[in-house]
Structure 1
Amino acid sequence: MSAALDLVVMTGDHDTHGTIVDRARRAEELGYSRVSMGEATGWSIVPTLSLIADRTDDIGISNDVFSPYGRSPAVLAQTSLALSDLSDGRYRLGLGPSSPALTEHWHGTSFDRPLRRLRETLELVRAICTDGTATYDGEIFDLDGLSYDRELPETPPKIDLATLGPKATELTGRFADGWVPQLFSPTGLEERLTDLERGLELGGRDASDVRVSPLLRCIASEDREQARTKARSMIAFLIGAYGPYYGDSVASQGYEDVVENVRAAWDDGDQEKMAAALPEDVLDEFAAAGTPAEVRSQVTRYADIDGVDAVRVGFVGGMTDAEKEETMTALADLL
């Protein structure tokens, strides 16, 4: 398999920062290229990423993903530069447009013009990390004056965007260093890659300028039915309950009726019905769940898509430590 494997750690499954570090170290032992994790309304993951940077040697380090409403561009740049220094340049910053729920009910600000804010945040962070200056004349940010007061690295941290829609993915192709899509079928991913290519062309860039690493939820187990039950619950939750964007994206890939049924079950407060509304064949389009051989085959489908540089292996809710280890080691056989 030519594509690399990254690992996404579910921080909510861990009671201590130390066990998250242990998971990252195990991924490094198995040959995974990069480890990442999100924070949403849990721990700030910056201290955890710092520990991982200190206690690993080679594995890349990322976050999935910071909200442009939750931290100022200057703080994002400072964080990126600090983590880059701690990791000897192994850190990549992950940004995304976020969601109305997280923006308004957690960060307490208006979810206004998300793509414009995302672009300006990226440009400002890159300017600070490259030139040390926070001077910027934009529609969202208007800054003139202060500069970063430490030595800048020879190579600034890369910036990845987690985007879904056509315009957002085009923006990624024009400006970002990486694309981290989630909940795409293989066919849907291939179609969306045309939007990324259009952005590359508009930005006068080459495909090698953007690292494409789709996130795929995986669970490998000899107990095939239990693995699929856990994956079905996770994918149904992402489609029906986790904000509007994942469901809208899945619907746009030709699954309008499925999304409608899953959302109707969520509206009724029936999570079992919500999972049952996700057909077997649709589950196989959006997750890799089953025996180790089946999961390796599903991951390979994504890895073999032209333009994919890495597959981000994400877990599903309710997995035991043994199931996570089995999944990680089963997929390491592809490396």
Structure 2
Amino acid sequence: MSAEIGLGLQSDKRPGDYARLARKAEEHGFDVLSVFGDLMYQPPIFPLLEMAAVTRRVRLGAACLNPYSMAPYEIAGQVAALDLASDGRAYLGLARGTWLDAVGVPQPRPLATVEEAAAVVYRLLRGDASGYEGTVFRLAPGTALRYAVRRPDPPLLLGAWGPKGAALAGRIASEIKVGGSANPAMVRIVADRVRQGELAAGRTAGDVGVVLGAVTVVDADGAAARALARTEVAMYLAVVADLDPVAGVPRDLVARVSSLVDDGRHEEAGRLVPDDVLDLFAFSGTPDQVAAQAQALIDAGVRRVEFGTPHGLTGDGGVDLLGTAVLPALRR
């Protein structure tokens, strides 16, 4: 099966913007549209429903919803609504999330929380009213959704980097997304981690697709695109640098970049990010450069490449270049 190509959108746009971008994406031939569920942005269900109304083919989902800030029965309702609005094109994305300490939400027992949330969501979608007694979540016997659902089993994507999260994906998910990475070496690392869970669950190795997605900035002016990408990467380098076991980003570099970001000096922080580090955590440059980065992931065995925001020096311009120059290069 050939690799899918998707777009990841931040939920910071105005009504109508999502519909316009979704139409462009489907016309260009993208396979998947994801909306990030990042802290303090619009809830992803709003853009997803707007995009569902104007598309007919692309798969749609939030990458990802968070069971610490949204109860599993609410998650079930949102994925059911999206699946109904899109006529069966929704996927469910779940992850433990990050930065929740900023809003006073603790995150204990992340593996159990994500696994049990998925179990509750799918029991509800399948109409299983027998009850569920987990260590984090429960359903009393007789508890069931009071509305019809389009599908009882929309595919599950787990967002995770580490060995335990990857093994969990191997046991219960259809896909695992490594967010914030463009490093081809991570594909094999994650696939090996996922395989442990696949085998433990009696699944076939390779059942779970590996998805890599990261900040993307493409433009005919490759230097300008890479400069903007450096600024974007600087803002999350402290989160992802230690998660990549082979990146080898110097700790003093991470500390200096993080200090400048904390001071609001984002462009200055970005200028500290060297080319080799930039290419591990973002797709950036001319269309040929971005296509080469994506092709390296495909060659490494990724099932889907997800080009994340801001896409270009302007959002529409970036989506158009990805669709007219990068996507055709990947499908020759």
Normalised TM-score (structure 1): 0.89
Question: Is 1:73–1:125's contact at 8 Å kept on the other side of the alignment?
Answer: yes
RMSD of aligned residue pairs (Cα, Å): 2.2
1:186-197, aligned counterparts within 5 Å? Answer: 186-197=184-195
CA spacing shift, 1:161–1:309, aligned 2, 3 Å: same
Aligned twin of 1:248: 242
Match of 2:140 among 138, 144, 155: 144
Tell me, in whole angstroms, the C-alpha distance in 1 between the residues paired with 2:8 and 2:165: 22
What amino acid does structure 2 have at the position aligned with 1:5?
I
1:114 aligns with 2:110: yes
Q: 1:205-253 deviations in whole A, cap 9, x for unaligned?
A: 124532322113222212111011011111111113xxxx423214663
Aligned to 2:278: 283
Q: Whose helix fraction is larger, Structure 1's or Structure 2's?
A: 1
For the pair 1:88 / 2:87, whether they are aligned, the reply is: yes
5+ residue gaps, structure 1, are none
> Please, which of 316, 325, 331 is the counterpart of residue 330 of structure 1?
325
Q: Show CA shifts across 1:302-327 (max 9, x none).
A: 11212x21111112387313234223
SS at match of 1:120: helix
Q: Which runs of 5+ in 2 are unaligned?
A: none
> Which runs of structure 2 are paired with 1:13-162 in the superposition (5 Å)?
14=13, 16-40=14-38, 41-99=40-98, 101-102=99-100, 104-106=101-103, 108-133=104-129, 135-145=131-141, 146-153=143-150, 155-162=152-159
2:256 and 2:204 map into 1 onto residues whose CA distance is 41
Moved more, 138-147 or 260-269: 260-269
Q: Does 2:303 correspond to 1:309?
A: yes
Which stretch of structure 1 is more off in the superposition, 250-259 or 288-297? Answer: 250-259
Matched, 1:170 2:167: yes
Contact 1:218 1:327 in 2 (8 A): no
Distance 1:27 1:207, change over 3 A: farther
- The structural deviation recorded for 1:255 is 1.8
> Taking structure 2 as the reference length, what is the TM-score of the superposition?
0.90
How far is 1:264 from its partner? 4.1
CA distance in 2, matches of 1:318, 1:54: 25
- Seen in structure 2, the aligned counterparts of structure 1 residues 82 and 323 have a Cα distance that, compared at 3 Å, is closer
> Whole-Å Cα distance in 2 between the matches of residues 302 and 134 of structure 1?
43
Question: Match for 2:161: what amino acid?
Answer: L
| Identical-residue share of aligned pairs (%) | 28
Q: Against the structure 1 CA distance between its residues 296 and 227, is the aligned structure 2 distance closer, same or farther, given a 3 Å change threshold?
A: same
1:58 maps to a residue whose letter is R
Q: Partner of 1:17: helix, strand, or coil?
A: coil
C-alpha offsets along residues 129-173 of structure 1, whole Å, 9 cap, x if unaligned?
A: 123437211111132131123334455211111111111111111
Figure out how many residues of one structure are paired with residues of the other and give that number.
325
Matched residues in 2 for 1:191 and 1:21: separation? 36
For the 8 Å contact 2:187–2:210, the answer to whether it is kept is: no
Q: 1:271 is matched with which residue?
A: 266
Contact preservation (8 Å) 2:125, 2:149: yes
Query: What is the identity, as a one-letter code, of the residue corresponding to 1:143?
Result: L
Q: 1:205 to 1:251 in 2, by over 3 A?
A: closer
Q: Is contact 2:35-2:47 (8 Å) kept?
A: no
Deviations 1:171-229 (A, max 9, x none): 11111121111233111332222111111111211245323221132222121110110
1:222 aligns with 2:220: yes
Alpha-carbon distance between aligned partners in 2 of 1:151 and 1:322, rounded to the nearest angstrom:
40
